[in-house]
Every structure is written in C-alpha cells, then in structure tokens.
Structure 1
C-alpha cells in the first residue's frame, strides 16, 4: 500500500492562464446501470430524483464534453436526502505513478470531448460532520485511456505528444461550508489491466488525510464502452470491477459512485468521502484485487495506448516520489 505522501508531493497548483487548452475529439452517450449508496456502500435502485427526466430516449447521454452541460445551474443536490448517521472511513488505495501537477479549477476537461460528468463530493468525518476547507484533488484517464502532463510518467501518457502537452482531467477544489466540492469532467476511459476509475486525495491544511480510488458500476461501464462513440472505438476492455488489480470484487461496492442521468444528458456522479477526524487516528486500506488483464495493448487495438507489461510499465519503477502501484 502507499506510504504517507511526502511534502514534496503536495500539489503544485497552476492557474488556468498557464494551461494548454483544447483537444477536441468526438463523443457520445449511454445507458445507466445499477446504483449504489454514497456512504458505506450497499445497493439501491438509485438516488432521489433519478428519473432520467428531460431526455427522449432511455439511456441516451449527451456528447461533446462539458460544453454540453446546458442545465448545470439547476442540477439536483445528490446529498439532499442526507447520508445517514453511520459514516465508515474511506480507506486508502495506491497513489499510482500517474499523479502530476494539479490545477485549481472546477472544469477539468480543457475542452476534451467525452460524455459530460458532474462529479459531486461530500467530505465528512467519522461522525458524519461536514468538513469545510478540505481540498479534493482528482485525476483520471481521458476517454482514449491516456493521462496527461509532461511531468507524468510515460507509463501514463504512453509518451504521446498531445497527452504530454495537455493537463486535462486533473484538478483540485476546496470544500464549501457544507463540505461539498464539485468538478465538471468527462467519463474516464479504460486501459489494460485496470477497471474504470478516478483517483483522489483529500487534504486539510496541506496534510494528506486519505488517498484512494473510486469506481463506476460495471453495467454502466459496459454500456458506455460498448455503445458510445469515442469510447466504443477502442474495443472491449480486459478488466472489470470483478478482476481489478487494485480493488477486490468483494469491497468495490463501497467505492462506487452513485450515478444518474440529468435533463441535459450529462451524468451526475456523487460520493461521500469519510476522512479521519485526526491524523493520529488509524487509517484503513482497501482490500486489493488479485486479477486484472494482462499487460500490453487493450483488445481491438488502441494505437499503442495500453500500458506496457508489468505493474511499473517496464520502466523500472515510477518516478521518484510516486508509489509503485498500478495507476
């Protein structure tokens, strides 16, 4: 498992002005799968207001990235019904080698195409008390399965010049008085040996309280990957929540986003993050998986975008300061 993040790994925050913008591709839409409760896991039929209202066909999602989020100002509050009185800690998972310089911003897409997603986080302590002023730092792969940033390992960008020049799908936000932080992004892509996932770190006053990963229901993943433009051009994935290397099939349910399709066809994905009230308190670790597809390019070909064989991508380990686990 990961060790405590050293001070030199605290995020370097840059402004929008310094960002390379853009990268348009072409995107898509999707049906929805089973939904899970935000805090403590457990399966349910949905979240309050999960009606798919405003769309003309069941399971049809918006395309075109975050620019398609036309009703963003009126998106429902996924935490309006409350989170209950039992808040189990969000456990640790590997940092992975793909962490890089982050950016303080809500929209982390940089104009990249993809299925638009509003990520809503609620940060609370073990007593379910909201934590204002915490920073939520997230990063994930683009729809084509690549991470961004010239300071990310080539394991994560495959050395692709466009990916290295961008900084898409990385960002940090500070929780408000209610403990909430939101991001606008696109649904993540897959790459060989990993299920679809989003990384995050929660810090208070610069100190790391938890670093972990979140996932999406496999029915939803399959609908998007198999049927939606941009995602479906890459072929079938080789790893699911049932055989991932980082999270076990038995524990993944506690780390799934609750999702719903909104009136403009965007996805709302919500999760309550439960952190320790003090760094002196013990932290738990996500039970790890033992599966995962083999290394190498994903089935169907991806233009060389799959990580090379081996957990470190054949690089002899990740860059200094990074955990050697899977990204």
Structure 2
C-alpha cells in the first residue's frame, strides 16, 4: 500500500499548472470581523480573476498587492477562540512565511490577526500552523506514520508547517496551498498560539463547505482524489452548529490565489478560563475514543490522537 501512495503523489505532482475555467465563487462567513475588504468592482483587488490559480505559491505573482483584510476593523465584540484537539500530526516546525516548500496546489495567503478579549492586537506572540497537503498527507519524519502513511517523500519533507511571530498590529501571514482531505475529517488547518513560549490556545480552522467542494471537485491535484467523505456538518472534531465561528473568510485575488483570513481571540492570562469547541459526530471532545481503523500495524493511537480522525490516503 505504501508504494501505491508514493506513486499517487508522483502522479499528482506531475499534473501541470493549467488554470481552471470555472466562474468566480466567493465565500464569506460573517463572524463579527468587520466588512468584506475585497472590492468586487476593482479587478486589482482580486475579483477580476477568471479562475483559481494552481502551481503552488510561485503562482502568487501579485502578493505584494493583496489587500489588508483587517483594514475595515474587526468590530468591538471578540469572543474567545475555543480549544480543539491537537491531533497526532504535530511535528517540528520552522520559522517562515512560505510553508509550501515548492509543493504544487491552489496557492493561499493565510492572514491571521491575534487579539485579546478586548479586541486589542497582541504583538510578539507566535502562531504555529500545520495541515495536510493536497494529497491528504502530513509531512515530517517525526510525525506518526499514521499521518504520513509512511510515504518516503512526506516523511523527508517539512511542507505545510511553519511558525511566525505577530507584528505590532498582531498580524501574521503564511503562504501555503489549499489543504487536502482525508477520511473522517473535513478540510482543516491546525494552529497553536503561544505567548512567551506558553501555549494559550490550540485549535483548528475550516473553510466553507461550498468552497471545499469547488476545490476538491474541479481543481488540478485535488480533483484526482475523488469526493471527500466528511463535511463541516458531520466532522468528528467540531459540531456543525459551531463550525461557522471557525471558518475563514476568503476572496480570490487577481492572480488567482486565495486570500483567507481569520481573527484569533486569546485569553489575557493563562489563569483565565478556557473553552472547548463543541464536539463533532463523536460527541464532546471530538469523536469516539477508539483506536484508528485497522492498518496501523498495531501501533494504537499515537499521543494526542484526536479520537475521530480516520487514516490518511492509502493507509
């Protein structure tokens, strides 16, 4: 099975960089983060593009002109970002903005703003993110084989992992590719926010289901894998009623890249109470507590296993 996964990755990486030709589709979730900063009347703001780009972050040819999605403000109500499971796929991270390591896929600029419960930006905190690649695999030799499927290329890489420190405005950017899916999980991005090295919140962010379906069903690399088996409404980690508060707002840039943005609200102190996202289909805490599906070589759930994640592709 391992060689089958490796072969699929080689095929996916060689599918080329042609643009899709679908009509523009934009998905905005209003979560009290201000008004939409993408002006549809202005092609330079990104909505004049005829299709999503592919080919990875090298296709972000107009990155210097992407708008500030927080320029209109974030409102005056900042609800705490609640905890979600770390999952088993965290591994050594690298300080960098571009976390793609040259991998192909739909290019995405992730803009994250860290504030306190008074909506005040917090400088000099670290935001650590990680997610699966378009083929549904995580990277890193120190990640569990449960997450990499033991794929040699995935184990040797460190793609789609990175950490950045917020600037004076509490802002970080990451350049990446749209995540892939794997069984029993909706498409998601993990993150941890730390202040002076102390973990203040670990959680997950999501994309609108309609956007997920558009990418998975129509875009190169993603469309080779078939329809996903889990959506935001039946995910094993977060409930369908709660997921809207953790969904990125998104816009398409003029070069075809995606701009995705979210405000993260953290506690003012570790002594303040934390909260947990409502659990998904497995109940509170996110999923049943049994071991992964058979095929893991009998290793049982790795440390931090999220109790609901099915095996990555080819496992």
Displacement of 1:235: 0.4
Deviates more, 1:181-190 or 1:53-62: 53-62
| 2:37 paired residue number | 48
1:94 aligns with 2:93: no
Given that residues 194 and 245 in structure 1 are in contact (C-alpha distance below 8 angstroms), is that contact kept between their aligned partners in structure 2? yes
If the length of structure 2 is used for normalisation, what is the TM-score? 0.84
If the length of structure 1 is used for normalisation, what is the TM-score? 0.81
> After the TM superposition, which residues 43-82 of structure 1 pair with which residues of structure 2 at under 5 Å, given as runs?
47-51=36-40, 53=43, 60-82=51-73
Alignment partner of 1:184: what SS?
strand
Displacement of 1:154: 0.7
Alignment partner of 1:136: what SS?
strand
> After the TM superposition, which residues 21-36 of structure 1 pair with which residues of structure 2 at under 5 Å, given as runs?
24-26=13-15, 29=20, 31-36=24-29
Could you say if the C-alpha distance between residues 170 and 56 of structure 1 is closer, same or farther in structure 2, counting changes exceeding 3 Å? closer
Displacement of 1:325: 3.5
Could you say if the C-alpha distance between residues 140 and 56 of structure 1 is closer, same or farther in structure 2, counting changes exceeding 3 Å? closer
| 2:251 paired residue number | 260
- CA offsets, 1:264-307, max 9 Å, x none? 11000000000000000000000011169x9xxxxxxxxxxxx9
**Cα distance between partner residues in 2 of 1:195 and 1:314:** 25
**Cα distance between partner residues in 1 of 2:125 and 2:306:** 26
Could you say if the C-alpha distance between residues 271 and 126 of structure 1 is closer, same or farther in structure 2, counting changes exceeding 3 Å? same
Could you say if the C-alpha distance between residues 288 and 195 of structure 1 is closer, same or farther in structure 2, counting changes exceeding 3 Å? same
1:124 aligns with 2:108: no
Displacement of 1:58: 6.5
| 1:134 paired residue number | 125
Displacement of 1:309: 1.7
- CA offsets, 1:214-262, max 9 Å, x none? 0000000000000111100000100000100001000000000000000
1:113 aligns with 2:97: no
| 2:134 paired residue number | 143
Alignment partner of 1:102: what SS?
coil
Displacement of 1:170: 0.1
> After the TM superposition, which residues 186-265 of structure 1 pair with which residues of structure 2 at under 5 Å, given as runs?
186-265=177-256
- CA offsets, 1:23-45, max 9 Å, x none? 954456565343113547xxx9x
Let me know the Cα RMSD of the aligned residues: 2.6
1:163 aligns with 2:148: no
Displacement of 1:48: 1.8
Alignment partner of 2:154: what SS?
helix
Q: Which runs of 5+ in 2 are unaligned?
A: 1-11, 310-315
**Cα distance between partner residues in 1 of 2:184 and 2:39:** 32
| 2:176 paired residue number | 185
Given that residues 97 and 326 in structure 1 are in contact (C-alpha distance below 8 angstroms), is that contact kept between their aligned partners in structure 2? no
- CA offsets, 1:167-199, max 9 Å, x none? 000000000000000000000000000000000
> After the TM superposition, which residues 268-283 of structure 1 pair with which residues of structure 2 at under 5 Å, given as runs?
268-283=259-274
Given that residues 244 and 290 in structure 1 are in contact (C-alpha distance below 8 angstroms), is that contact kept between their aligned partners in structure 2? yes
**Cα distance between partner residues in 2 of 1:157 and 1:140:** 11
